[in-house]
Amino acid sequence: MRILVVEDSEKLRRAIQFALRKAGYAVDATGDGEEGLWFAESNDYDALVLDLMLPGLDGLTMLRRLRDGGRDTPALILTVKSEVADRVAGLRAGADDYLSKPFAFDELLARVEALVRRRYGNKRPLLRVGELEVDTVARKVRHRGHDITLTLREYRLLELLARRAGEVVSRSEIEEHIYGDDAEVFSNAVESAISTLRRKLELPGTATLIQTRRGLGYVLEAGGE
Partner 1 sequence: MRSLQQRLSRGLALGLGVLLVLGGLLAYPALRSLLVEEFDYALLAKARALTASTTADGRGISLRFTEYPPPEFKAGPRAEYFQVWARDGEVAAKSPSLGDAGLLRPGTSTNELKFWSITLPDGRAGRALAIKLALDETAGAPGFTVVFARDTMRLRSVLRRVVGGLIGGGVILLIAAAWLARLTTRAGLRPVAALADKVTRIDAPSLAKRLSAAEAPAELRPIVEQLNSLLGRLHAAFERERRFSADVAHELLTPVAELRALAENAVRWREDREATGQFAADVLDSARQMERQINTLLGLARSERGELKFQRESINVSVLLEELRAQTAPRVQAKRLQLDWLVPAEAALWSDRVACRAILQNLFDNAVEYTPEGGHIVCRLERSGNVLTFTLTNANPGLQTNDLPHLFEPFWRADAARTDRAHSGLGLALAKSLATALRCDLRVALTERGEVLFTLAFPT
Residue closer to partner 1 by CB (options 32, 41) is 32
Provide the H-helix boundaries in 122-164.
152-163
Cα distance between residue 176 and residue 43, in whole Å: 8
Under the binding rule (CB under 8 A), the answer on residue 152 touching partner 1 is no
Q: Does 5 bind partner 1 (CB under 8 A)?
A: no
Residue 145, Cβ neighbours under 10 Å: how many?
Answer: 8
Check binding of 89 to partner 1 (CB under 8 A): no
Q: Please give the sequence-ordered ranges of beta strands (E in DSSP) within the chain, or none if there are none.
A: 2-6, 26-30, 47-50, 75-79, 97-100, 126-129, 132-135, 140-143, 146-148, 210-213, 217-220
Sheet holding 126-129, edge to edge: 126-129, 132-135, 140-143, 146-148
- We find the least distance from the C-beta atom of residue 82 to partner 1, in angstroms, to be 8
> Does 55 sit near partner 1 (CB under 8 A)?
yes
Q: Is 98 helix (H, G, I), strand (E, B) or coil?
A: strand
Q: Which stretch binds partner 1 (CB under 8 A): 6-14, 133-141, 158-166, 208-216?
A: 6-14
What single DSSP character describes residue 169?
Answer: B
Residues of this chain, 13-32, that bind partner 1 according to CB under 8 A: 14-16, 18-19, 22
The contact pattern for partner 1, residues 99-138, with x = CB under 8 A and - = no contact, is --xxxxx---------------------------------
| Contacts with partner 1, residue ranges (CB under 8 A) | 8-12, 14-16, 18-19, 22, 33, 52-55, 57-59, 80-81, 101-105
